[in-house]
Structure 1
């Protein structure tokens, strides 16, 4: 029988949630404040924790923060329950590492589905770990574990059955200096990462599109974000909690290989960016920016001239002038602001 800890200061809500969970065949422990909740969590080692946000002595954010400091319970699925439905509150909870955020009043089915989803994911991760630790047979595969399963696609492993967060154009995803609590996988849309100097000038250091992972550098380095991420269009992101990502990195060799390769590529791209900014002519900078963005868009480039200039590291006026030159040379075409590359090979030759 799975054990669930309910931390809730409102007696009526606490009793109601307990009744729902017991009818669903869960063993329930309850605490009326955050301090007692942490003591119970350490004592009972629950399979999942439901926690209110606003409580006396220690609020829900404090509870989650302290739980993550204890290795014995830091990976326990954690779901916030709160009457506060403001987006900022939800974002704060998720950034601290919560697995879900349910707003009160909630339906019985909504609560149970959220719990079942988190518990199933934990079981799946445990089974996956056991299978990868199983003895290896003469064919080089774990006994009782098929080659097809063993080579499960990493993208599916990390991106399927995840919470989806939607961002509108120009909405900030994370900011420089914040500590990462999750990995992002782009299901739809495009995102830019950028830095700004003391004068407020923006330099775009990365463009990410559908199928890309975002925010993995800070996670792998164990540091804060060193840039800011912003949606360039309406975007949908699958969210992988840091604890799950860490668990996969500790148990799946192919996941480690994939992200180490991405990390190395990221370093190479940053080095090339710095060299280009330092030594490339204006035409080379613009050509390089167009080729880079075109590989992400895989169609007409529909970016503002300000964003293109920020990618190339040039002034907006210089970008506009160079694009006009490229158009007259029939290297590109421009229609309603969208740029189509007509001669990519010739643009690449400009870089040599």
Structure 2
């Protein structure tokens, strides 16, 4: 069965040429000349994917995305923005609102088709997925109504694909909700007054991040960035609040997660205050091995420095020392731990 694509674009030439490309590629194509008409058509036709211009009269692309994300029938339809601007602010605003991808005009046929095929494939995977992390949440719900509410919360939630080094949110942004890593790795970091980036956490598959910001502060207190190509799922704040208020067992589990996170950060502060450079880097390498559940992993010098609270040059020198001492093996950004016992017992 052909996938149904809706193109919302006020420029007639771009709208018709885009539709022609899609039809030649075998897609069923619908078009709308403005945002208002696009929203109405999306509700009746329920396309498999929407391609939408940002700058349009009456209702712009942001307005289209906002309205469709509030409607149960259309909230999970993959959404790709078309824009003549490559401005980071525009891109950031769209991604925060839930857009899946961006295409900057002018774009070529292959770029358009690749972006669409990627999003349609992710949608198919999304409809089949139920991760261990979501299953854990369901297990915490002791009452039948709690289980049903959780199923409703996570059912067909949109999975966003995040490119390596792409920022998910910045320190100071309004917290949109709780994030779950489906696959890949995401780092959270805080900028010091002297401009250094301090890494506060690394989150991998089935782990949540943004927990404190969503439940306590309502604004993000750190920046989240993808360490590698990743997929994440956003659980909206208002829905999380409602579920937790009705399910004490779930609320208690989130308290445990918060307490564990705070304990980890306290341990990091103790290391920064009292441990030597060698000890701090050794602990950081061991922590990375635990996160990856393997003795070898990839991490940049800058991220290692941020995680250990050290200068990048100091990390380079210390890694060289560790390699000479046959504690590690290093090739580019890949590090293998050769003697975890000595690294664990390191004192100076």
Same fold (TM over 0.5): yes
| Cα separation, partners in 2 of 1:17 and 1:202, compared to 1, 3 Å | closer
Tell me the equivalent position of 1:327.
323
Q: Deviations over 1:98-128 (max 9, x none)?
A: 7999x9xxxxxxxxxx9xx9xxxxxxxxxxx
Contact 1:159 1:238 in 2 (8 A): no
SS at match of 2:297: coil
Tell me the equivalent position of 2:272.
277
Q: Distance in 2 between matches of 1:76 and 1:319?
A: 50
| Cα separation, partners in 2 of 1:15 and 1:269, compared to 1, 3 Å | closer
Q: TM-score, normalised by structure 1?
A: 0.61
Q: Distance in 2 between matches of 1:251 and 1:100?
A: 31
**Higher Cα Rg, which structure:** 1
| Cα separation, partners in 2 of 1:306 and 1:192, compared to 1, 3 Å | same
Contact 1:185 1:213 in 2 (8 A): yes
Contact 1:94 1:100 in 2 (8 A): yes
| Cα separation, partners in 2 of 1:82 and 1:184, compared to 1, 3 Å | closer
Question: What is the deviation of 1:213?
Answer: 1.0
Check if 1:347 corresponds to 2:325: no
| Cα separation, partners in 2 of 1:334 and 1:159, compared to 1, 3 Å | farther
| Cα separation, partners in 2 of 1:83 and 1:324, compared to 1, 3 Å | closer
Contact 2:169 2:225 in 1 (8 A): yes
Check if 1:234 corresponds to 2:250: no
Contact 2:80 2:100 in 1 (8 A): no
Q: Distance in 2 between matches of 1:268 and 1:56?
A: 51
Contact 2:200 2:265 in 1 (8 A): yes
Matches within 5 A, 1:149-228: 161-228=156-223
Check if 1:304 corresponds to 2:277: no
Question: What is the deviation of 1:239?
Answer: 2.0
Question: What is the deviation of 1:313?
Answer: 0.9
Q: Distance in 1 between matches of 2:320 and 2:42?
A: 66
Q: Deviations over 1:52-98 (max 9, x none)?
A: 98898997968999x9xxxxxxx8758599995349767535635x7
Tell me the equivalent position of 1:292.
287
| Cα separation, partners in 2 of 1:161 and 1:150, compared to 1, 3 Å | closer
| Cα separation, partners in 2 of 1:169 and 1:257, compared to 1, 3 Å | same
- Taking only aligned residues, the RMSD between alpha carbons, in angstroms, comes to 4.5
Q: Distance in 1 between matches of 2:175 and 2:65?
A: 15
Question: What is the deviation of 1:332?
Answer: 2.1
Question: What is the deviation of 1:346?
Answer: 2.7
Q: Deviations over 1:211-262 (max 9, x none)?
A: 1112121001133111111111111111222222222222233321222111
Q: TM-score, normalised by structure 2?
A: 0.62
Q: Which runs of 5+ in 1 are unaligned?
A: 1-9, 25-51, 68-74, 104-113, 118-131, 133-139
Contact 2:39 2:64 in 1 (8 A): no
| Cα separation, partners in 2 of 1:99 and 1:170, compared to 1, 3 Å | closer
Check if 1:317 corresponds to 2:317: no
Matches within 5 A, 1:24-173: 85-86=82-83, 92=93, 95=96, 161-173=156-168
Q: Which runs of 5+ in 2 are unaligned?
A: 1-9, 11-31, 47-52, 104-122, 127-140
Contact 2:276 2:347 in 1 (8 A): no
Q: Distance in 2 between matches of 1:265 and 1:233?
A: 25
Contact 1:182 1:240 in 2 (8 A): yes
SS at match of 2:270: helix
Q: Distance in 1 between matches of 2:143 and 2:178?
A: 29
Question: What is the deviation of 1:314?
Answer: 1.1
Q: Point out the more displaced range, 336-345 or 11-20.
A: 11-20
Q: Deviations over 1:263-307 (max 9, x none)?
A: 111111111111111111111110111111111122312111121
